[in-house]
Chain A
Amino acid sequence: GENVGLHLPTLSVQEGDNSIINCAYSNSASDYFIWYKQESGKGPQFIIDIRSNMDKRQGQRVTVLLNKTVKHLSLQIAATQPGDSAVYFCAEKEIKLIFGQGTELSVKP
């Protein structure tokens, strides 16, 4: 069935450290994956995406890794800052976009 989930509901890191947020998906036919950041009281904000024909994509301070063999997606944030504190959702798409439950990232100064 449809199931895009995250391994940890919360993640706490020290400012300046790297953060890794993980996601497992179940639909092997999904061909497009997106990470969203959602701050309190706001809508989801696009961070980075990756197609299924890639295994890595880099943005500014963020990297998404896709392992189709084990149906695993991760978001790496380099030099985490207080402004990165938010809930992060992975989402997968075959026909429609399906969201996971989210991981709340807290950055300690």
Chain B
Amino acid sequence: EAGVAQSPRYKIIEKRQSVAFWCNPISGHATLYWYQQILGQGPKLLIQFQNNGVVDDSQLPKDRFSAERLKGVDSTLKIQPAKLEDSAVYLCASSLGHSSGNTIYFGEGSWLTVV
């Protein structure tokens, strides 16, 4: 079974530029998550989708971050304009459902460096 796919793996941009990350979840997984992981810390949830609807985006900095999952499968996370503190790994994850007991599987992450 294929895992969660993410691209690009690495990206370096200048501050105030924009960047987009793409995620393809495990086939059949209705719930998709975007996490931000700053070096030395645990992942922090940015946004959670159930199919194509947003379940939780309370931690998403909406002035610069946006995410969509238009057809309920793939998802894109965008940052515009980027700040230095956005340097982090952006992890996409998916699960069959959002209730407890559904294992959440992570991709390898997209590493962003803002200079």
A residues apposed to B, CB below 8 Å:
4, 31-32, 34, 36, 41-46, 49, 51, 89, 91, 93-102
A-B pairs with beta carbons under 8 Å apart, 12 shown: A32-B100, A32-B101, A34-B104, A49-B101, A51-B101, A91-B42, A96-B45, A96-B56, A97-B33, A98-B45, A101-B40, A102-B40
By size class, the interface of chain B is 20 to 34
Report the tally of A-B residue pairs with Cβ distances under 8 A: 51
Complex contact A44–B103 (CB within 8 A): no
* Given the contacts A96-B48, A102-B42, A49 and B108 also touching, CB distance less than 8 Å: no
Q: Which residue of B lies closest to A42 (CB)?
A: B108
Complex contact A46–B101 (CB within 8 A): no
Complex contact B42–A89 (CB within 8 A): yes
Could you tell me the dominant secondary structure of chain A's interface residues? strand
Complex contact B104–A95 (CB within 8 A): no
- For the complex, is B91 an interface residue (Cβ under 8 Å from A)? yes
A55 to B93, CA, bound (A): 27
- For the complex, is B44 an interface residue (Cβ under 8 Å from A)? yes
